[in-house]
Amino acid sequence: MAGTLSSIVHCDFSVPSDHECDEPNRNEPIDSWLNDEACFPVAFYRFDSREIRCTTPKKSAKMIGKYIMGDLLGEGSYGKVKELLDSTTLCRRAVKILKKKKLRKIPNGERNVQREISLLRRLNHRNVIKLIEVMSNDEKQKLYLVFEYCVAVLQELLDSVPDKKFPLWQAHGYFCQLLDGLEYLHSQGIIHKDIKPGNLLLANCGTLKISDLGVAEALDMYVQVDTCRTSQGSPAFQPPEIANGAEVFSGFKVDIWSSGVTLYNITTGKYPFEGDSIYKLYENIGKCEITVPEELDESLRDLLQGMLQKEPDLRMSLREVQFHRWVKQHPPVLSESVPIPPRSEGDTHRNMTVIPYLKALHSEEDSETDDEEDIFYEVIGSAAQVPDEVRPAKKLKQYFRRKKRKEISCINVSTSSLCQPS
């Protein structure tokens, strides 16, 4: 910063009736109101910018039960996702914070969340996201879903590269893990209904995790068929039978179709069907024939055509997909993998965001002294050049105590010569 920094405080200064100075002329330039030229009470005090050091404020630590809360990881239609640290095991976790009031405004919002909780509690597989704990705050009307921590979403990796796709060998690895997780879900009688890159998470070790079972459906364990009647999945990943308005359909074949669209997307960077609107998109899905790019491997094209058959009865089963020659082979590594993009500048490894909050939690200093309001008051109230008769300290103190603001930055002027006690 260059020049000077003027601190402005809007206060109601009471001037004694016997004050010898004239009232300020409001038609004069604002520079004449500064304290080194004016002879009347003003609320402008000048500080040399070289003696002012801007510092980052301390973060205020928050805890949910035994968990220390970190920064925001993402935000969806249902709520926010933040990083957590388990204070007993020091394991990284992620919490989905849901507002019950907001859920009531979303069609089937509360029902979908309760369904997801009930399904996740009974699942345990390396390729399915694990629900650790569920907590509720009735006073704040919030629901906290604590999950195992995943470092990225598959869609993030796709969005970080210009062609929006993975090398074939990398896509092959993710797809095989998707099949393993999907096989487990189907063995438990669960239809996901919304397989897509945005619902596939990655752990630090590269393990893929199927997430977001909000629209999933559990089949009746006493019934042999996989008949479903509703679907709320993402439009671009829905099969022709749903696009054409079928009242009943095979749930397993829905997941095969959406997995095929996912494979098509991560290997080509495109979608098999597109449209300017949902209506046009569904029309294309229901009527148009799929075109697989010729540049893809012949075995991969054969797999995509088998998974994206319009007739559910002709569509490949999960077992057939698992034993397809493209799945069984291992494509050669011909290019570098698409890495996990940094969350912010300088954070290439997506380090723990809880660490700054740990410092605040275990700091012995009084956190109130770091509030922007208190520091700002100290600047105004301690300046030696400000006459006592024009510095109503009590009023300033009451003003800043009354007007609390969210801390966003602070100014450290403890070394300023202007701020030394007189």
pLDDT of res. 50: 67
Among candidates 242, 248, 245, 246, which has minimal Cα distance to 226? 248
Q: Are 216 and 111 in contact (CB under 8 A)?
A: no
Q: Are 92 and 84 in contact (CB under 8 A)?
A: yes
DSSP string, 71-93: EEEEE-SSEEEEEEEETTT--EE
Q: Which CATH architecture has domain 152-328?
A: Orthogonal Bundle (1.10)
pLDDT of res. 105: 87
Judged on CB neighbours under 10 Å (0-12, 13-18, 19+), 305 is middle
Q: Are 421 and 388 in contact (CB under 8 A)?
A: no
Among candidates 258, 232, 206, which has minimal Cα distance to 113? 232
pLDDT of res. 277: 93
Mean pLDDT value across the chain:
80
Selected residue with higher pLDDT from 12 and 372? 12
Among candidates 372, 394, 399, which has minimal Cα distance to 9? 399
Among all residues, which ones are annotated catalytic? Answer: 194
Task: Inform me whether the pLDDT recorded for 45 exceeds 90.
Answer: no
User: Which of 100-114, 205-219, 355-369 has the least mean pLDDT?
Assistant: 355-369
Confidence category of residue 230, pLDDT binned at 50, 70, 90: confident
Whether pTM exceeds 0.75:
no
| Nearby residues of 382 by Cβ (< 8 Å), 6 or more positions away | 419, 420, 421
Confidence category of residue 299, pLDDT binned at 50, 70, 90: very high
Strand partners, 146: 95, 133
User: Which of 157-171, 207-221, 393-407 has the least mean pLDDT?
Assistant: 393-407
Q: List the domain boundaries for the chain.
A: 62-149, 152-328
Report how far residue 99's alpha carbon sits from residue 90's, in angstroms, rounded to the nearest whole number: 27
Structure confidence by residue, pLDDT tens digits, 337-346: 999 998 877 7
Give the distance from CA 218 to its chain's centroid. 28
Q: What is the mean pLDDT of residues 230-252?
A: 93
Report how far residue 280's alpha carbon sits from residue 284's, in angstroms, rounded to the nearest whole number: 6
Q: Find out whether 96 is annotated in a ligand binding site.
A: yes
Task: Inform me whether the pLDDT recorded for 420 exceeds 50.
Answer: no
Domain 62-149 has CATH 3.30.200.20: yes
Percent of the chain exceeding pLDDT 70 equals 72
Q: What is the mean pLDDT of residues 233-247?
A: 93
Q: What is the mean pLDDT of residues 246-271?
A: 96
